[in-house]
A and B are shown apart, each in its own frame.
Chain A
């Protein structure tokens, strides 16, 4: 077993262990922090696959930005152990379990039978390095061959941002319209 293999197994085992903590943890804050660790371990595996850019973005976006907001919300809502009482929702758990198994089967099948492994698409680690590294190759592809999906994704994000601002603003104006009455009372 080479050093890379050892690292792969260590990080994978940690990822599985922390994923279990996310699902089984009683306290939502612990679950959220475990999810951060899962992202971190997955990022480490990306590095082992020579995909440093994806790993960095994983840490920057998921661990560094999105999960901070998750934890923020959990902390502000003060969702403690009691409110996370999921024991009575057995049917949902069963559905979730079935969906998870189905998803896992799909992943396993696609890993086994998929045709777009990096070697087959022509991007071996050596070739990527000769083309100027991960980030360069990825950005060139994104702004040439895949410009349309890339721009569509950014449009989708823009729509999402505009939508959330519109919803928040309506609530804000509603609160403003009500506030004078409270002042009089």
Chain B
């Protein structure tokens, strides 16, 4: 690994970690203001313009609050649980490509932290570990509400993981690769001459199943039974306070971010430019060339715009999560399980069979 690659790796990791961390306070603000908008309230509007400084103020409060550990908990696991939930959420993003390649000194550099041989399987494997954080929190809290919350959550996550994995298979088959960059590349071009060849148009059922399952995986409304404040106080994080509680909150938003990034990558062309952005490449490249010169300015322009397109797509789905949360009521638990096992699971299997048949007949 030479100097350029090393610098590029550092820049990538720094940019991704910084973006992920800083998206949390922004999302908290968006969620609070957005929910207020939908419910005809005001939301936080006093601290700073439009209340935007409310989030940093809350962070300071959480950091300086007493880090209290109740006497009846299993200490080691109680302290570990929030970290166990947060770390997989961070790790998953490592394989998500957020822009195209760039050539510097004849070397192709990928805008993806790790190009693993197993591609999307890594995402599924790591995201299946997050459930331990919830189980550990619920069990260590030694509290019936926490326990019920963590049992609900783990049952729900295991049930929906199947549909989640199966719904991705259709896209993998059509791209003939499990590498996320290849899946993005397979979504370039158009169908019928005008529609982008995005997964949402070629695999609509896979998209619906994946979207629903990712709501269940992130424990967000309408599937937020693990928290269900009207029934079990706050579920698995009832006994947590201060920064440890904030870590659970961060993990939820991280999972949302990763889910949005995966939805964009798998079904919305990933980092591919949004329609009409192509004509901006040259001006952007010229602008970038004023600040530093390495490689081709047009390439840098494309890279920057791809990163922007990806961010817009991810941002839309983050907003979609908020939108759904404040629009739909919570499911009942049996409805949730019925939906997972009796609707989504057969649907994703049927989608797989139909995709395979159509590919065999060379229709798609």
Is there a chain A Cβ closer than 8 Å to B126's Cβ? Answer: yes
Bound-complex Cα distance A175 to B128 (A): 34
Is there a chain A Cβ closer than 8 Å to B221's Cβ? Answer: no
Q: Are the C-beta atoms of B125 and A60 separated by less than 8 Å?
A: yes
Chain A residues near B122: list those with CB within 8 A: 56
Interface of A is mostly: helix
Q: Are the C-beta atoms of B128 and A60 separated by less than 8 Å?
A: yes
Within 55-96 of A, Cβ neighbours of B (below 8 Å) are at: 55-57, 59-60, 63-65, 68-69, 71-72, 75-76
> Could you say which of A55, A65, A75, A133 contacts B139, with CB atoms under 8 Å apart?
A75
What is the interface size of chain A, counting residues whose CB is below 8 A from a CB of the partner? 23
> Could you say which of A33, A57, A68, A69 contacts B77, with CB atoms under 8 Å apart?
A33
> Could you say which of B117, B118, B136, B147 contacts A33, with CB atoms under 8 Å apart?
B136
How close is B345's CB to chain A, nearest CB, in angstroms?
14
Is there a chain B Cβ closer than 8 Å to A29's Cβ? Answer: yes
Bound-complex Cα distance A27 to B121 (A): 33
Within 127-150 of B, Cβ neighbours of A (below 8 Å) are at: 128-129, 131-132, 135-136, 139, 147
How close is B38's CB to chain A, nearest CB, in angstroms?
35
Is there a chain A Cβ closer than 8 Å to B11's Cβ? Answer: no
Bound-complex Cα distance A135 to B125 (A): 15
Q: Are the C-beta atoms of B151 and A72 separated by less than 8 Å?
A: yes
With both beta carbons as reference points, the residue of chain A lying nearest to B157 in the complex is identified as A68
Q: Mark B142-172, 1 if CB is under 8 A from A, else 0.
A: 0000010001001000100100000000000
Q: With contacts A75-B135, A75-B139, A135-B178 known, is A65 near B128, CB below 8 A?
A: yes
Q: Are the C-beta atoms of B118 and A75 separated by less than 8 Å?
A: no
> Could you say which of A59, A68, A69 contacts B125, with CB atoms under 8 Å apart?
A59
How close is A136's CB to chain B, nearest CB, in angstroms?
9
Chain B residues near A52: list those with CB within 8 A: 116-118
Bound-complex Cα distance A30 to B140 (A): 11
Chain A residues near B158: list those with CB within 8 A: 65, 68-69
Q: With contacts A59-B126, A75-B147 known, is A68 near B132, CB below 8 A?
A: yes
Q: With contacts A33-B77, A36-B132, A63-B129 known, is A68 near B118, CB below 8 A?
A: no
Q: With contacts A29-B139, A52-B116, A65-B158 known, is A60 near B121, CB below 8 A?
A: yes
Bound-complex Cα distance A76 to B135 (A): 12
Is there a chain A Cβ closer than 8 Å to B17's Cβ? Answer: no
Q: Mark B235-263, 1 if CB is under 8 A from A, else 0.
A: 00000000000000000000000000000
How close is A66's CB to chain B, nearest CB, in angstroms?
11
Q: Are the C-beta atoms of A68 and B131 separated by less than 8 Å?
A: yes
Is there a chain A Cβ closer than 8 Å to B124's Cβ? Answer: yes
Chain B residues near A29: list those with CB within 8 A: 77, 139
Chain A residues near B139: list those with CB within 8 A: 29, 75
Q: Are the C-beta atoms of B121 and A64 separated by less than 8 Å?
A: no
Q: Are the C-beta atoms of B129 and A64 separated by less than 8 Å?
A: yes
Q: Are the C-beta atoms of A59 and B117 separated by less than 8 Å?
A: no
Chain A residues near B124: list those with CB within 8 A: 60
Q: Are the C-beta atoms of B118 and A135 separated by less than 8 Å?
A: yes
Q: With contacts A65-B128, A75-B135 known, is A135 near B151, CB below 8 A?
A: no
Chain B residues near A30: list those with CB within 8 A: 77
With both beta carbons as reference points, the residue of chain B lying nearest to A129 in the complex is identified as B117
Chain B residues near A69: list those with CB within 8 A: 158
Chain A residues near B116: list those with CB within 8 A: 52
Q: With contacts A65-B158, A71-B135, A72-B154 known, is A53 near B117, CB below 8 A?
A: yes
Bound-complex Cα distance A64 to B77 (A): 18
How close is B154's CB to chain A, nearest CB, in angstroms?
6
- Looking at A36, A64, A135, the one whose CB has the most chain B CB atoms below 10 A away is A64
Q: Mark A21-58, 1 if CB is under 8 A from B, else 0.
A: 00000000110010010000000000000001101110
Chain B residues near A68: list those with CB within 8 A: 128, 131-132, 135, 154, 158
How close is B165's CB to chain A, nearest CB, in angstroms?
9
Is there a chain B Cβ closer than 8 Å to A134's Cβ? Answer: yes
Q: Are the C-beta atoms of B121 and A56 separated by less than 8 Å?
A: yes
Bound-complex Cα distance A34 to B125 (A): 18
With both beta carbons as reference points, the residue of chain A lying nearest to B162 in the complex is identified as A65
Bound-complex Cα distance A135 to B124 (A): 15
Bound-complex Cα distance A55 to B116 (A): 12
Q: Are the C-beta atoms of A56 and B125 separated by less than 8 Å?
A: yes
Chain A residues near B147: list those with CB within 8 A: 75
Bound-complex Cα distance A36 to B129 (A): 10
Q: Which residues of A contact B (CB under 8 A)?
A: 29-30, 33, 36, 52-53, 55-57, 59-60, 63-65, 68-69, 71-72, 75-76, 133-135
- Given contacts A64-B128, A75-B151, 6 further A-B pairs with CB under 8 A are A30-B77, A33-B136, A53-B117, A53-B121, A57-B125, A65-B158
Q: Which residues of B contact A (CB under 8 A)?
A: 77, 116-119, 121-122, 124-126, 128-129, 131-132, 135-136, 139, 147, 151, 154, 158, 161, 178
10 tightest Cβ-Cβ pairs between the two chains A and B: A64-B128, A60-B125, A59-B125, A52-B117, A56-B118, A133-B117, A134-B117, A56-B121, A56-B125, A52-B118
